[in-house]
Structure 1
């Protein structure tokens, strides 16, 4: 591909070399450089990609895209840009033929609800006959291919590659999670989403390597509403007015708020042995009743968001009702049937905010007891351990402290930190470091009417000990425990 075709949408300066180049590959990892490729030097939190410029040239890269001058042979073309991450996004889009133009694009941002909402949207649209690609925290789905995710939103080159593969596979549309980090680091730069969705925002992802403060976090989220044609926003969010500042899109709203374009009314809890759900009525732009097999008020928000999106695809009310009834998301309020006496579920809640939201939602079902099993990750913010311990101690009737991903820390030291938080409360707890044994304890000590939550792992099917990922899927652990009980 001609270099000038790759740079067509960029402001740049050619520091040296010729623009009359034929580029045979675009890379941002110097280990993947091939002859006559274009290498983008990006500054990182740990390593500056400019350090690899000379090595990339020696491996055969004929074009370097940089933010600052680099020392390479004179025959290498060096293109200087203001922001190389932004440049990578636009160059990648051009390299793959601007594939987002062949898809109806749906981008969802927010502190909570992104993952569940994407799966609900996919369920509704596929139930209505659309072929839908998905990019998110758990996985990327392209037709029948499933690719496990490393980031909520991949690097821009991968985003564009996935769009291209989706278009080639005959997908009509793509629904994707757009994280604040993705917006901050220009991973979706150059994409004008057909629909940009804001679910909610709360203080989170603030600290070293993420966002400097809440104002910056909000500013990054807000970028999506300047990068879409139709913005669909949660009218109930307390930061609604701040979120929509400077938006350039047509705006629609949803929520319980009387001024929302699409509203939820008359919510009611649904509870049967081993099952929890919620039902409500939709009014405003659409009118019908819906029931979801996922408990909690936030399930209303997630499904209402999906409805607000899918109504633009002329999906029938019955299609929406049927699809929402079947929609399931691995590790998000995922109920696993082990007994008719009590309910057991797996959820990804892995910080204080998500755990508090989860437990408060479950308390509304007036269970006999809430039993909360969780651990905390090693080599992460210690305050999270104290906070989660205190929340579980205050909100659960029994806490089972166990191990999560200890990484390079002593699992017992992490447990002691969690206990420090619990000791601020009057909450009862037991500690069982081995996660399988902890789950077995929860199942064997379940009482009629209990809700047992296995929190923190969610969709993850591994445990990180040291620097090694060991396979560990809680669904398999539960199945093993039940089989062992049966054999005994």
Structure 2
């Protein structure tokens, strides 16, 4: 694409100098590490780094045009000045990558808990339907069977548009995407044409960023208020899938112009689960769609997974799939790595690894385990450093109230002292209650499994699918599943 054509997508701009030698753009980027000859570099004012200070580096590496919102020195290289480079980046990336989301069915999922599970179930449903699928989320980006690493739950807008463009080129028809609250506030999904938007729930998380629950709820609402405002007769229209058992879900009905499909368990939703029975092998329940009803036996355990299944069913149904075909996939779906992932052992001690890093997530996991455990419950849990301090005592209290043996340890301490984080957690321990503490997460997991007896379950909470631990400024390999398997193996050998 020619540079002149690219920047013409920006309605309001000043180009300095007014005339320049046009060129074919090789790359659009905000990252100087990516730059090649004939790149266009966008200077973004970030929380840590101001891209305007990197313009000289970008020019040395081959950038041939700069997009900026502050004065920069570039010699003879043209600068396009705009009011807001983040907004310009959204417009430019959509234009450069041909608005790829418009050629795809895009299902966006937002909420505190359940995003990863719902997006994976949605992907499985459409794959079983014979479509080539894409997935973007916390664990990775996925194009068909190819898995690409990701830094954030929702990537920056250029990475996102670039990924969607690759999906179109490779024949993907449906993509399921996790949409984080921070991404919504930062405009990382501006220009993405969502067809279905799903809301799971809202509980305490990310208050280090949003400061208040009202701000957090507003961030989530942006996905629905930006879901289009047209009932065009030549399209299927936009659909908002809302959990109306959550007060915010009911509020979102007023924040969107899209057609609404509700789901729930407690309220009289359009899609509802009844007669729920949770057991160690999965969950049985009746799924009701208006006046139709089916009995399901799924392999995932827990009430919150029933909500996740309802959300995924609703998204697929809203997209035009037949209920019977959707249900067939739901009953075969094995679950997601690090989401109530069961690790069994001949010792009859079981470990469960779960990404329950919020108070509500931890409560859901422990309540689910308590529904079917035969023995005692051990809970190994920590809290992340440089994140919301307020949830630390809350998670500690939940661990004490819903497990027999709470063990506090490190999660990703980042720049904080691990023991200081544990001390914050100890403030939530009820008077007279005893807990064990291990700064070393590996030792905590080993101690829990060593103490457990046949019939007991050890919940290892917080990190789930993650295969690393961030200590200080360094990232080290660490996988809760691997550590649990190793500890169970040792226990088996000793017995």
Q: Is 1:473 aligned with 2:474?
A: no
Mapped to 1, the partners of 2:5 and 2:259 lie a distance apart of 32
Q: What's the counterpart of residue 241 of structure 2?
A: 232
Report what 2:232 is aligned to: none
State the partner residue of 2:26: 24
1:479 positional shift? 2.6
2:260 paired residue among 251, 254, 259: 251
Deviation at 1:142, TM superposition (A): 1.2
> What SS does structure 1 have at the residue aligned with 2:176?
strand
* Displacement of 1:381: 4.2
In the alignment, which of 281, 301, 304 is matched to residue 307 of structure 2?
Answer: 301
2:66 counterpart of 1:64: yes
- 1:76-95 Cα offsets, whole Å, 9 max, x none, are 33223333222212211222
What are the residue-to-residue correspondences of 1:62-101 with 2, within 5 Å? 62-73=64-75, 75-101=76-102
* Distance in 1 (alpha carbons) for counterparts of 2:184 and 2:416: 32
CA–CA distance in structure 1, aligned partners of residues 273 and 21 of structure 2: 58
Instruction: Measure the CA separation in 2 of the matches of 1:48 and 1:64.
Output: 14
Q: Pick closer, same or farther for the CA change 1:255–1:383 going to 2, 3 Å.
A: closer
Write the distance in 1 (CA, Å) between the matches of 2:275 and 2:8. Answer: 53
Deviating 4+ runs (over 6 angstroms) = none
1:265 Cα offset (Å) = 1.7
Among 431, 434, 448, which residue is 1:428 paired with?
Answer: 434
Would you say the 8 A contact 1:352–1:387 is kept in 2?
yes
Q: Please, what TM-score do these two structures have when normalized by structure 2?
A: 0.89
Within a 5 Å distance, the mapping from 1:74-473 to structure 2 comes to 75-207=76-208, 210-228=209-227, 229-256=238-265, 258-271=267-280, 275=281, 277-285=282-290, 287-311=293-317, 312-339=319-346, 341-365=348-372, 367-422=374-429, 424-473=430-479
How far does the alpha carbon of each residue in 1:64-106 deviate from its partner, in whole angstroms, 9 at most, with x for none? 2222333332x33322333322221221122222222222111
- Asked if 1 retains the 8 angstrom alpha-carbon contact of 2:412 and 2:470, the reply is yes
What's the Cα RMSD here? 2.4
> In 2 relative to 1, CA 102–77 (structure 1 residues): closer, same or farther, beyond 3 Å?
same
SS at match of 1:239: helix
CA distance change for structure 1 residues 84 and 327 in 2, over 3 Å: closer, same or farther? Answer: farther
* Helix, strand or coil at the partner of 2:26: coil
Contact persistence 1:254–1:261 (CA under 8 A): yes
CA distance in 2, matches of 1:264, 1:362: 20
> In 2 relative to 1, CA 299–240 (structure 1 residues): closer, same or farther, beyond 3 Å?
same
TM-score w.r.t. the length of structure 1 is 0.90
Q: Find the counterpart in structure 1 of residue 11 from structure 2.
A: 11
CA spacing shift, 1:142–1:90, aligned 2, 3 Å: same
**What 5-or-longer segments of structure 1 have no aligned partner?**
none
Give the deviation of 1:237 after TM superposition.
Answer: 1.4
8 Å Cα contact 2:39-2:62 kept in structure 1 = yes
